[in-house]
Amino acid sequence: MKNLKRTLRDNVWMRWVMLLMVGFVLAANYYFYDALSPLKTIFEKEFGFTSTHYGLFVSVYSLSNVFLCMAVVGGIVLDKLGIRRTGFMFVSFMAFGALVTAYGASDIYSNGGWGYGFMSSFLPNYSPQLKMMLLGRFLFGLGAETSIVVISKIIVKWFKGKELALAFGVKLGLARTGSFLAFQLSPYLIKSPSGWTTAIWFAALFVTISLLVFMIYMMFDLKLDRQSQQDGIAEKSDPFKFSDLKELIFNRSFMYVTLLCLTFYSAVFPFFSFSADFFLNKFNLSISDSSDISSMLPVGTMIFTPLFGFIVDKYGRAATLMIYGSLILVFVHTCFAFTTINPYVLMVVLGIAFSLVPASMWPSVAKIVDEKRIGTAYGFMFSVQNIGLWIFPILAGLVLDKTNAPGAESLNYTYTMIMFASLGILGLIFAILLKREDKVSGYGLDLPSNAK
């Protein structure tokens, strides 16, 4: 009887090192996304931003994924071209967009640098800095969401049939580490001798380094593919057919997961982008203290997401945990709207919700969808998710501007938090529907990851 040759993915240490490498790319992605959140008041002072302008800046990240369906296209390209070429392409977009954003906020640009004159020639109600930063944020989003799809497929590739939910949990924990560092480091980098733009340039450099790390990962991915081909276990990619997308859309379990993804993340990420300003206004804190409170969310997820991933792998209950996480989300946002409960405590509790749902949701997709179409499935989910990440930051900014007097010393966030709590309620409904549908479809979302 012949012994099958072991591949890199059969080496426990090797697959976890690979996870740490792509997790670094993800951490850089999230760091840049959140690094500018503590700078909202500075943008208002330096460039004349309003809350609506800031909401537009946050939301333009999702523009390409909403109107160009880039995450869907990227998922299809991923299934067709593979991890290495697709990943390099979109992580490069991510790095270039980060550098353009930093340039738009720099003194070099503000003092008449390249592109300043052109950006000053149209839309006079928007500052040249805002317009260049919007361009950079758009390019960053063009690459960032598809890079997350690529990383998700990488994890399925290395961990399916092994510690898949735990791997997703660690991946999400690494992503939240990026957010935590953003809220911790940005307030201190603002005070650096070279000025507050240091915080943005540092974030852009972080993303650029992540591109180099991904290029190193590509060498190991190539070696794994060659080993798999030699052993005859490599999966062949089938040509993409639009019927594949149609099958996903008519799969109730998949659509309930997708709609939960839309509503849940829309209630978390836009809030997170405004959270430092929310704490500053509601509790009359400094930028540094407000950022410290905001950083409690990723701290909670860094701890709890791998833990819940381990639980899902060993004991299952993914569909049930998604319901619990949605309930906690509604509770926290309602408390933020109507109470003055210690915000440190509430952010840690929100971190638990933000661990329960993702740690259960993303590995569940691998049970619902065939691995050959996992890129398309994740791409579709991220595109739908980005509809919320585009709309709700703008709505949050509009609600703030409409419910507060111009030039008010302190902003009232009550109506904005009611909006986020309402999204949580919708997510809870979809989580309940998913659990009910799973009893019919038989995907076994409440079973352990390695259950047959």
Q: What is the C-alpha separation between 331 and 353, in angstroms, rounded?
A: 10
Tell me the two tokens of residue 193. Answer: 């001798």
Is residue 98 within 8 Å of residue 221, measured between CB atoms?
A: no
Residue 374: what pLDDT? 79
18 pLDDT tier (thresholds 50, 70, 90)? very high
Rg (CA), the chain: 22
Is residue 302 within 8 Å of residue 172, measured between CB atoms?
A: no
Alpha helix segments (H runs only) across 160-286: 164-189, 197-230, 242-249, 252-282
Tell me the two tokens of residue 199. Answer: 């915080």
Task: Domain 13-441: give its CATH architecture.
Answer: Up-down Bundle (1.20)
Q: Is 342 helix (H, G, I), strand (E, B) or coil?
A: coil
Q: Return the DSSP state at 124.
A: T
451 pLDDT tier (thresholds 50, 70, 90)? low
Query: Hunting for tokens 């593919």 — which residue is that?
Result: 225
**Residue range 278-304, pLDDT digits in tens:** 998 999 888 788 888 888 888 878 888
Residue 242: what pLDDT? 62
**Residue range 402-435, pLDDT digits in tens:** 998 877 778 899 999 999 999 999 999 999 999 9
Angle, helices 70-81 vs 128-159, to 10°: value is 40
Angle at 279 between CA 277 and CA 284, to 5 degrees: 100
**Residue range 334-356, pLDDT digits in tens:** 999 999 999 999 998 999 999 99
Q: What is the C-alpha separation between 49 and 43, in angstroms, rounded?
A: 6
Domain ranges of the chain: 13-441
Tell me the CA end-to-end span of the chain in Å, nearest whole number.
Answer: 26
AA identity, residue 231? D
Tell me the two tokens of residue 186. Answer: 């940005």
Q: How far is CA 29 from CA 140, 144, 210, 399, in A?
A: 9, 6, 8, 28
Global pTM reads: 0.75
